[in-house]
Structures are given as structure tokens and as C-alpha cells.
Amino acid sequence: MVRQLKHHEQKLLRKVNFLEWKGDQGHREADVMRRYHIQEREDYHKYNKLCGQIRQLAHKLSQLPATDPVRIKHEKLLLEKLYAMGILATTAKVSELESKVSVSAMCRRRIGVVMCRLKMSETISAAVKLIEQGHVRVGPEVITDPAYLVTRKLEDYLTWVDSSKIKRTILKYRNELDDFDLL
């Protein structure tokens, strides 16, 4: 029988789970969820499963002969798709997919992280709050889901909603606010 931990001992050990420590996988999941402000654990598991499927597909393609036209065609399509999504920095080789395609690479395309990179927000958590409040749109569509993945093409269309006070403040700061908008 184990004694009850004292208050200061509980404070020191609050982040350690002794019951499920083998299943923590080195705290990788918790680190990624904290860094990219992922609120749903299911999102992390979906990204992880998707990365595994991509790696599996790349492995199966690598088993085909190098001169096979099907292999060449599908490798090119896979690399172009991952580059267009923003997961890969360059369309280099299929052999690099094992190291380059990761949950972190998927999370870097979430709308909150892209907003921070574009200097629309200081922190990811602040960006998530703005998204949930309905201040952000991609093209004509207002986005309220912080798990929305922004592709390279849609990154240019990431703006503030017209009725947002943040957009009004930015226009006022730049002296570009139209008198019609004040009404």
C-alpha cells in the first residue's frame, strides 16, 4: 500500500502519470498538442494516422521497379500534392517522406499557426481565440474551426472579416479607413 502524497509532493509530480507512463511515448503527443495549441486529442491522432498512411504509400511505391511508369506517375502526384498542401518544403524525393512528413508538419498548416507566421497574431492561442470568435476568413468563407488546414494557395486569401473590429483598427492605423465604413 502506498501512502498519500503530501501537497508539495503532488505539486512537484503533477505532470507525471505513474499509472500510464509506458504509454506516454516520450511525451511527444503532449508536446505537439501544447506547441500548436491543439484542443482535441482526436485531431492529433488523425494527423498521426494520416502521416502513417502517407509513409505506407511511399513505402509501397518504393517497392515497385524504378522504371515503372505507374510508380513515376504516382510518386510525382504524391509529392506535388504534399507540396501544394504545404507539408513538404520542396518536391524532392519520395525517400525523404519518412523524415519530412510528420504530425508537426501537418500542424504547421493549421490556420492559427499560419496566422502567427503571417504576423496576424502574436501567439497561437490568441489566434485560436480570434478564429473561434469569427474574426478570420479564408477567401469568402468565415472560418471558426481552429483545426482548418490552410494550403499554400489559400494562404494568400487569409484575411480579417469585413465586419471585424481588428480590420477596422488596422485600416484606421494605416489611414485607409473609408468614411462609408464608419456608418
pLDDT tens-place string over residues 115-152: 999 999 999 999 999 999 999 999 999 999 999 999 99
Last residue of one domain, picked from the residues 74, 106, 138 = 106
- 145 lies in which domain range? 109-182
Query: Do 144 and 82 sit in the same domain of this protein?
Result: no
Mean pLDDT of 25-54: 89
pTM, two decimal places: 0.79
Query: Do 95 and 142 sit in the same domain of this protein?
Result: no
Q: Tell me whether residue 3 is in a domain.
A: no
Query: Do 86 and 113 sit in the same domain of this protein?
Result: no
Q: Tell me whether residue 12 is in a domain.
A: no
26 pLDDT more than 60:
no
Q: Tell me whether residue 21 is in a domain.
A: no
pLDDT grade, residue 17 (50/70/90)?
Answer: low
Q: Which residues are registered as beta bridge partners of 158?
A: 138
Lowest mean pLDDT among 13-22, 125-134, 151-160: 13-22
- Give the rounded percent of residues in the chain with a pLDDT score beyond 90: 61
Query: Do 51 and 102 sit in the same domain of this protein?
Result: yes
Report the C-alpha gap between 19 and 6 in whole angstroms: 18
pLDDT of residue 177: 81
pLDDT of residue 18: 63
Last residue of one domain, picked from the residues 64, 90, 106 = 106
35 pLDDT more than 70:
yes
Exposed e or buried b per residue across 129-164, where buried means at least 16 C-beta atoms within 10 angstroms of its C-beta: ebbeeebbbbeeeebeebbbbbeeebeeebebbeeb
22 pLDDT more than 60:
no
Residue with the three cell numbers 492559427: 112
Query: Do 102 and 31 sit in the same domain of this protein?
Result: yes
Q: Are strands 158-160 and 136-138 parallel, antiparallel or unpaired?
A: antiparallel
Q: Tell me whether residue 126 is in a domain.
A: yes
36 pLDDT more than 90:
yes
Q: Among 24-28, 97-101, 134-138, which range has the highest average pLDDT?
A: 134-138
Q: Tell me whether residue 9 is in a domain.
A: no
Query: Do 81 and 114 sit in the same domain of this protein?
Result: no
Query: Do 64 and 85 sit in the same domain of this protein?
Result: yes
Report the C-alpha gap between 105 and 96 in whole angstroms: 13
2 pLDDT more than 80:
no
With H, G, I as helix, E, B as strand and everything else as coil, classify residue 137: strand
Calculate the CA dihedral of residues 171, 174, 178, 183 and round it to 10 degrees. Answer: 50
Query: Do 114 and 155 sit in the same domain of this protein?
Result: yes
Query: Do 94 and 120 sit in the same domain of this protein?
Result: no
Last residue of one domain, picked from the residues 82, 106, 130 = 106
pLDDT grade, residue 107 (50/70/90)?
Answer: very high
Query: Do 161 and 96 sit in the same domain of this protein?
Result: no
Q: Tell me whether residue 162 is in a domain.
A: yes
Q: Tell me whether residue 4 is in a domain.
A: no
Q: Tell me whether residue 15 is in a domain.
A: no
Query: Do 65 and 52 sit in the same domain of this protein?
Result: yes
C-alpha cell at 65: 521497379
